[in-house]
Amino acid sequence: MFCPNSLAQSNKAFGPDTKFGIPVYNGVINFALSGNYSSATFEDNKWVFTNLHLNGSDPLENFTISAKNSNVTVYGHFVTTVYFPNERLNYIAQGKGDQIINMDVGVNGGSSVDWVILTNGTFVSNDWSVSHDGTVTVTGLTGNITVIYFGFLSQLGVSKLPFYEAHSVAIAVTAAVAVTIVVAVVVKVEVKRRQGKELSQNA
């Protein structure tokens, strides 16, 4: 199923086969699991979702995503509110293009110190940027990508410190990354299991 340029319906459901195309950018967005949203509109070559609920994930009240020369499969969105709060988005990127993501966090921040990007479990220091409105652009990376926002750094008064000096924060982020990777693997295994079960039932 391929979505048209604009969709708007209360509690519109979607599944892994639902594709959100960006024709001008040669990009496609889809989700690994089923879910629903209150609206999905195509604006300025970006998909803008309102009240997005992906099964097994925390909801996204406002979520904007686009892809250039790449196919993106979103696996999950997770929010941690205790100890070291952070917000994470997991997705798979195929094709060395760009992914443009806004989770409606980090607005009026625009500081890269509030973000961590991983690809296949490895910290990425280059190949990404963040704008003043919290829009993250990932360039040329493929595989399992995790975008993590931990704006609590600014609240703790350490946002101006070099990252290596914020040891406790680095440890917390690393722990969050480990959890993220485990969750991503579990989700991928579950998706493959369900797909295999459906194929056997239809055989």
The domain containing residue 107 runs over which residues? Answer: 6-202
Count each helix (H run) and each strand (E run) in the chain, helices first: 2, 14
Q: Contact 173/150 with Cβ under 8 angstroms?
A: yes
pLDDT, tens digit, for every residue of 87-96? 999 999 999 9
Distance between CA atoms of 39 and 86, rounded to whole angstroms?
A: 26
Q: Is residue 1 part of a domain?
A: no
Q: Is residue 81 part of a domain?
A: yes
Quick one: pLDDT at residue 176? 58
Q: Is residue 172 part of a domain?
A: yes
Distance between CA atoms of 94 and 100, rounded to whole angstroms?
A: 14
Look at residue 8 and tell me whether its pLDDT is greater than 50.
no
Number of domains in the chain: 1
Q: Nearest-CA neighbor of 172 among 82, 55, 96, 105? A: 82
At residue 157 the predicted structure's pLDDT band, cuts being 50, 70 and 90, is very low
Copy the structure tokens of residue 109: 């921040």
DSSP letter (8 states) at residue 17: T
More confident call, 77 vs 164: 77
Q: Is residue 62 part of a domain?
A: yes
Quick one: pLDDT at residue 7? 46
Q: Is residue 149 part of a domain?
A: yes
pLDDT, tens digit, for every residue of 165-202? 444 455 555 555 556 555 555 565 566 666 666 556 56
Quick one: which H or E segment has residue 202? helix 167-202
